[in-house]
Structure 1
Amino acid sequence: EMGHVLGIGTLWDTFGLLKDFPGPNPTFVGPGAMKEFGTLIGAGQPTPVPVANVGGAGSAGGHWRERVFGNELMSPTIGGPGNPLSRLTVASLGDLGYQVDLDAAEPYALPDPFVIAMAGGGETAPPRGVMLPTVPSSVPADRP
């Protein structure tokens, strides 16, 4: 929560760093964080950072995407100990104008997608809608 007080997720839009939100694939486009994300995924170039696209106002658009980042400190869900403050998050603070030391970040690697899938994806299912009744395949005999 202290990250939000510093502007993580709360000032992204104000600084023009949040793109395509709301929507299915919002991203953070700060140059420092994009450089660190590009390094994490082995892209060799800066890459927009996936932002949470599910959850309420406290998650969507204000955290890194859980399915991508797992236990990173600024993903929406803190499930227990061991939530590192990565170079990516430190760099995002630099993108907000803070003077940062990337080398002070904690060791972090992206989670194995297989492990995430086996654990249920780390995200809650979207809210359930109204279940529609079975559509009849024939007109009842008592109807014209």
Structure 2
Amino acid sequence: MEEFTTARRAFSSGATFTEVATASRRSFPRFADAAPWRGDRTPAAELACHVLWSATVSPAGFVTRPAVLMSKHWMDKVWSWDHCFNALALAPGAPESAWDQLQVVFDHQTEEGALADSITHAEVLHNFVKPPIRLHLDGERLPGAGR
């Protein structure tokens, strides 16, 4: 099974369906095992990990980095401010991914400092402009955050 956004040539893979399915089955446990807050006292943590893992999309169009969509249903965008919640969830176990979640919105910050309301592969909307979020890490302002 493959997902694509437009018509293209037929896909040809050197891997069998079973090999691809096995690789996918191994991908989620590796992702979930990186979450240091998982344990016997946090039974819903694995479900939260699955939501983050399954809603992550590759860079395409205006989505400039791997990004977590808020949903693959009707909130299938990167949303200003919500991206911070995803970054906070990912930071302890996947700091590079957390950084991408923060920066994907700042990649589209206007010269006036406003952030887009939402970003998809096909559009950047500024219809409900948010003020920039000032982010701090150990008292330091993060590069590129809130110009």
TM-score bucket (shorter structure): under 0.3
Compute the TM-score of the two structures, normalised by the length of structure 1.
0.26
Compute the TM-score of the two structures, normalised by the length of structure 2.
0.26
In terms of fraction of residues, the more helix-rich structure is 2
Higher RCO by CA contacts (8 Å cutoff, separation 6 or greater): 1
In terms of fraction of residues, the more strand-rich structure is 2
